[in-house]
Structure 1
Amino acid sequence: MMDTSLEFCRQKEDLVRTVRTLQVTSQNTLQRAVPLLSSQTGLGLLSTSQIHQLSEKTTQVCRNLEDVGNLLLFRQDELTQTIKVPGTGGSSSLQWCSDGSLYVCGDNGPYIHLLNSHGRPSQALHCFEDSLFLPDSIAMTRLGSIAVTDITDGIVRIHSPTSYPPWVRVGGDFKSPKGIAVDSSGRILVAEYTAGTVQAFSVDKLYRVHGVKKVSGLQGPQYICATPDGGFAVSEECGDVKLFSNSLKLCGSISETYQHVFGNPSGICADPEGNLLVADVQKKNITLFPLTGSPISIVSRGLCKPAGITCSPFGLLYVADSGDNLVKVYKYRVKPYYTPTSPRKSGEAQSQTPRA
């Protein structure tokens, strides 16, 4: 035990020494180079090939430092709790609430289950209008109402406790609506699986639809999530994860940006820092894609069929594993407190891991 602890301390010292050496050396070079480059017309004995070589090596060192910084922030396979969801089927979608509670829905019946901050069932919303329906995906509107997709009937419903029945149909021409999310402006985003589109629209207090816009050209869009920059991300079955701006313009894809190969991307979520987390049903893992740096494996084992995922601003990741009808809670970040105005910087905060 002592040898392991001593070796661990030495590794930390080596890393600190290495980073400090890079900092001091680069600062000294900068202090010498800037006055010379500003006052002289030539480059002295420095050749073009040396400049090119320095540029390439600097780029690689910067990438390595980004990766080191990211790896220091995150954890892998740190399961803190498993929550059994009421019902016999699997759970495919969930929504974290600011009070620590969790809404869960899926194939476990015509219900949406509300779990309290300790993971215990506290309420069940019965999914019934003219008849029973099975909610496929779930999101929370800006007014605090629950919105769901019903892929069987091809509609979107919003729960209204003051109405009877309490589920109000949202107008719109939906073709196999699957994933649903709400962006930073309050618009509802719906992924239409067979149509290969994402429909964005606003809903007023009378549940009337306004400002409908569409994105097309997707291949089997499944899950969708809003991103902190005002845009959104969409997972494509057996394909990729596409990124869009708040004006619904395609910004790129995860596979191209990070040179990552997906099996079958499913649930996706973005944390307050803008890191994107993606579950892969085929590979049975969850990967985090940071704003800069290489992808990081957050969950590499213990999953059967990961579907919907969501995360809290306290460094917790919630996974709806439809393979064993469990919600699995992981601690994926070292310091869970986020400072919204200063990305990548965090302070200490009390952990809000639900108690078993």
Structure 2
Amino acid sequence: MDSSLEFSRQKEDLVRTVRSLQVASQNTLQKAVPLLSSQPGLGLLKLSHVQQLSQKTTQVCRDLEDVGNLLLFRKDELAQKMTVPGTGGSSSLQWCSDGSLYVCGDNGPYVHLLNSHGRPSQAFYCCDDGLFLPDGVTMTRFGTIAVTDIAEGVVRIYSPNSQPPWIKVGGNFKSPRGIAVDGSGRFLVAEYAAGSVQAFYVDRAYRVHGGKKVSGLRGPQQICATPEGGFAVSEECGDVKLFTSNLKPSGSLSEKYRHTFGNPAGICADPEGNILVADVQKRNVTLFPPTGSSICIVSKGLCKPEGITCSPFGLLYVADSGENCVKVYKYRARPYYSVTSPRRSGEASSPTAMS
């Protein structure tokens, strides 16, 4: 459905709901008048009248949230297309605070660094005992990068002062794919074959401690930390599961938003708490706000969206492995300037934002 037609429909629904609420309020007020007199009893007011008003109020609040989200977010606004070196596809991204971008996937034994203008600036050669293909990439709290190697079943951290520069950490994993680091510096690794997520810390000596594990997932692919300290993980041909900071299940996006996924893959969260999911089968990207309904912010122009990441300046980066490129979208109407008050819009724009 065209976005303008969809927005018009939602406005019409909102007007109808407000009018229904007005009628229900007037009826309830009229029946509550006897309560204001000295006569005993509840007059003509019944519990069903109050419940009806409560339901109308709840619905109009939902509609207001949906309209507010439509004003906050843009749809299908492609700003830039970055070509990734190599001949294969790209499936994992990591945005950096200086506007640069790490890219890896099936485009060879490299992790490519693109500058804020989308041009290649550095390539990290993936070799220790032999060549390996990195599947997922993330940034550690020490400012270096870590990758997963699904073929060998290991996690590696890049250390430029070591020989070889890629150091294995955490022992063996069962088909590690997605990798992320949360706000406390804890590693989160999605094990595809095992259907689990391993969480652990790595110190400066590359020693692992505080390991914990979540099981019972169905083909976990990508994973991302959420602002409240938990994490979200996408399941192949399934769902996106949510977990708290202590690794307890807290529901799923399909249940919360009544959304049907095809093949959810790339996933990321912005400082506002919005969770964005790339669906390979449906070839789109959907945003799930903290309140309100989900919004499809990229509905066309994607071939095989596998990895995504976003910046706090309203930019969404999509690794389209079908075209071996990274597509950059403006997904927020106005960039916010404070992660402590994310719903307030600021005038400041990103130094890498494109007009």
The one-letter code of the counterpart of 1:97 is C
How much has 1:338 moved relative to structure 2?
A: 3.9
What residue is the counterpart of 2:293 in the other structure? 294
* Cα distance in 1 for residues equivalent to 2:41 and 2:137: 63
What residue is the counterpart of 1:235 in the other structure? 234
* Cα distance in 2 for residues equivalent to 1:54 and 1:150: 56
How much has 1:53 moved relative to structure 2?
A: 1.2
1:135-171 alpha-carbon deviations (Å, 9 max, x no partner):
0000000001100000000000000011011000113
* Cα distance in 2 for residues equivalent to 1:86 and 1:111: 9
How much has 1:341 moved relative to structure 2?
A: 2.5
What residue is the counterpart of 1:325 in the other structure? 324
How much has 1:348 moved relative to structure 2?
A: 1.6
Aligned length: 337
Q: Is the 8 A contact 1:272 1:338 kept in 2?
A: no
What residue is the counterpart of 2:272 in the other structure? 273
1:237-271 alpha-carbon deviations (Å, 9 max, x no partner):
00000000010000000001110000000000001
1:265-301 alpha-carbon deviations (Å, 9 max, x no partner):
0000001100000000000000000001000010000
The one-letter code of the counterpart of 2:202 is V
The one-letter code of the counterpart of 2:72 is L
What residue is the counterpart of 2:335 in the other structure? 336
What residue is the counterpart of 2:213 in the other structure? 214
* Ranges of 4+ aligned residues in structure 1 off by more than 4 Å: 39-44, 353-356
**Percent of pairs identical after alignment?**
74
The one-letter code of the counterpart of 1:260 is H
Q: Is the 8 A contact 2:336 2:342 kept in 1?
A: no
Q: How does 1:18-57 map to 2 (within 5 A)?
A: 43-57=42-56
Q: Say if 1:236 and 1:45 are closer, same or farther in 2 by CA, change over 3 A.
A: same
In structure 2, stretches of 5+ residues that fail to align are 1-7
Segment drifting more, 213-222 vs 169-178: 169-178
What residue is the counterpart of 1:105 in the other structure? 104
Q: Say if 1:338 and 1:258 are closer, same or farther in 2 by CA, change over 3 A.
A: farther
In structure 1, stretches of 5+ residues that fail to align are 1-10
What residue is the counterpart of 2:138 in the other structure? 139
How much has 1:47 moved relative to structure 2?
A: 1.8
1:187 aligns with 2:186: yes
What residue is the counterpart of 2:149 in the other structure? 150
Q: Is the 8 A contact 2:267 2:275 kept in 1?
A: yes
1:199-258 alpha-carbon deviations (Å, 9 max, x no partner):
000001110110110000000000000000000000000000000001000000000111
* Cα distance in 2 for residues equivalent to 1:183 and 1:134: 24
What residue is the counterpart of 1:4 in the other structure? none
> What's the TM-score once normalised by structure 2's chain length?
0.89
1:196 aligns with 2:203: no
> What's the TM-score once normalised by structure 1's chain length?
0.89
* Cα distance in 1 for residues equivalent to 2:260 and 2:280: 13
* Cα distance in 2 for residues equivalent to 1:273 and 1:45: 46
